[in-house]
Amino acid sequence: MPELYSSRRLDQPRAGRRGPRFALDPEAFARLSERVARFLGTGRYLAMQTVIVIVWIALNLAAVRLRWDPYPFILLNLAFSTQAAYAAPLILLAQNRQDDRDRVSLEEDRNRAERTKADTEYLARELAALRLAIGEVATRDYLRGELDKLAARLPPEPTRKHRADRHP
């Protein structure tokens, strides 16, 4: 008999299994389960189920010839049990997929927040460096004050008439 399990990894079957192989795309099945779970949570589904139950009970109580499920309604109970047996795992699968998407989204948000924080810290450092550099640079008011001091030391400027006479 061929060995079905790898000697390295006992939690995974070997790739070379014999016999018919049933290939199921897990992503497609998960999408289908999400659609079913989404439908099971709608008012439309609840209304349809309520109508079916009312018709089922009415036919089994009123129509003597159509009684396929008499009073304790065992067949109806079986239908609900079967539905619950399939609905619960599908809903859990859909919730697990949503948790996975939320986890990925949270990780992306965390990475984006880290980048934003790093960018903010960089800009804060740059702003602090600019403030320090501006402290060493002459401002407009400082230059105006220095020019006023120099202007006060210079002799009075000749009038325009005298300038025009000297430079024809």
Q: Which residue has the tokens 């009312």?
A: 54
Indicate whether 49 belongs to any domain: yes
Tokens representing 19 are: 């016999």
pTM, two decimals, is: 0.50
Tell me the residue range of the domain where 135 lies: 26-166
What mean pLDDT do residues 15-36 have?
Answer: 77
Indicate whether 19 belongs to any domain: no
Of 87, 96, 106, the residue nearest 40 (C-alpha):
87
Name the phi and psi angles at 13, rounded to 5.
-70, 155
- Categorize the per-residue pLDDT at 161 as very low, low, confident or very high, splitting at 50, 70 and 90: low
Domain count for the chain:
1
Q: What is the pLDDT of residue 2?
A: 52
Residues 115-130 pLDDT 10s:
999 999 999 999 988 8
